[in-house]
Amino acid sequence: MIGTDAPLLPHECRRLARRATIGLARTGGFGFATSGDIFLPSPPVSPQSATLPQTAPPPGPAAGLLRLDVLPDFTLDPLVIGAVEVVEESILTPWFAAVP
């Protein structure tokens, strides 16, 4: 599971989840049809997408609107790199920690 506390929208969370296959490929895995390596995007795991403000809306023209702070799509590169590296690390660490 790839999780983050970055303020992401659901489509941005799915974009990160898809990068798990790159981490697998970097360890030498190919994801063959019989390998059992399956990556399914789950519902978004981000505080921004999980919680919305529970305050009353302000009176006037903005009534009923919510303000969300999210990262723009073009700033996601560091998160994408992190998602790839965390999957790669989670595969390699047990290999090197295993006792022969």
**pLDDT tens, residue order, the chain (100 aa):** 777 888 888 888 888 888 888 888 898 877 777 776 666 656 545 555 555 555 665 666 666 666 777 888 888 999 999 989 998 998 899 988 887 7
* DSSP output for 73-93: GGG-HHHHHHHHHHHHHHHHH
Paired tokens of 22: 């790159």
Note if the pTM is more than 0.85: no
Sign of the CA dihedral 27, 32, 37, 41?
Answer: positive
**CB distance 27 to 19 below 8 Å:** no
CA distance 29 to 88: 10
